[in-house]
Amino acid sequence: MRSFVERAGRAGASRDRPASVAHFDGELTIAGLPRLGRPGKPTAQIAPQAALSGGPLFRLDSEAMSTSGATLDGSVFDEASWAKGFITRICEACPRRMATSEDERRAHAIIRDEMAALGLTTETHAFRFNASLYANLALHFGLGTLGSLAAGRSPALGLALHALSAGSYALDSSRRAFVLRRLFPFRGSQNVLGTLPARGKPRLRIVFLAHADAAFTGFVFQPAVTRHAKPGPLYKSLRIATGALAGLAAVDVAQLLFGRSRALSILRGALSVPPVLAALLNLDVVLRDHVVPGAMDDLSGVAGMLLLARRLRAKKPDDVELVFVATGCEEAGMGGAQALAQDFRGRWDPKETVVVGLDGFANGELRWFTEGEIFPVPLAPWLAEVLTGVAASQPRFAEVRGFEIPVGATDALPFATAGWPAVTLGCVDPERGTPRHYHLPSDTPENLDAQKIPMCVDFSERVVDALVARPGR
| 442-458 pLDDT per residue, tens | 999 999 999 999 999 99
Given pLDDT bands bounded at 50, 70 and 90, which one contains residue 34? very low
Q: What is the pLDDT of residue 157?
A: 98
Lowest model confidence (mean pLDDT) among 24-33, 56-65, 292-301, 342-351? 56-65
Cβ 295 vs Cβ 83: under 8 Å: no
Q: What is the mean pLDDT of residues 147-175?
A: 96
Q: Percent of the chain having pLDDT more than 90?
A: 78
Q: What is the pLDDT of residue 24?
A: 26
Q: Is 80 exceeded by the pLDDT of residue 4?
A: no
Mean pLDDT of the chain: 86
Q: What is the mean pLDDT of residues 78-96?
A: 97
Predicted TM-score of the model (pTM) = 0.85
DSSP state of 56: P
Residue type, 407: V
Q: Half-sphere exposure of 3 toward its Cβ, with a 13 Å CA cutoff?
A: 13
Lowest model confidence (mean pLDDT) among 51-60, 202-211, 307-316? 51-60
Which is more confident, 352 or 225? 352
Given pLDDT bands bounded at 50, 70 and 90, which one contains residue 75? low
Q: Is 60 exceeded by the pLDDT of residue 20?
A: no
Q: Where in the chain is the domain with CATH 3.40.630.10?
A: 96-128+188-217+291-469
Q: What is the pLDDT of residue 23?
A: 30
What is the assigned CATH class of domain 96-128+188-217+291-469? alpha beta
